[in-house]
Amino acid sequence: MVAYWRQAGLSYIRFSAICASAVRAALKPQFKVEAMKVAESSVKVYVPKAIA
């Protein structure tokens, strides 16, 4: 049985990321601040523009 998200082309990593953000969004306010700080991505993606 293939999972519906696998069939749509999503990986488990993406599934996990969406579930994690859903859980973080459902935290009580006093815990949410801490979790959001941790969840912030410290990786900035820079795609250089191709030269002509």
20 belongs to the binding site for another protein (CB under 8 A)? yes
Q: What are the C-alpha distances in Å from 30 to residues 24, 27, 35, 39?
A: 12, 8, 10, 15
* String of contacts with another protein for each residue 22-51, x by CB under 8 A: xxxxxxxx-x---x--x-------------
Q: What is the DSSP letter of 10?
A: -
> Nearest-CA neighbor of 35 among 50, 22, 52?
22
8 belongs to the binding site for another protein (CB under 8 A)? yes
Give contact residues for another protein (rule: CB under 8 A). Answer: 3-5, 7-10, 12, 14-20, 22-29, 31, 35, 38
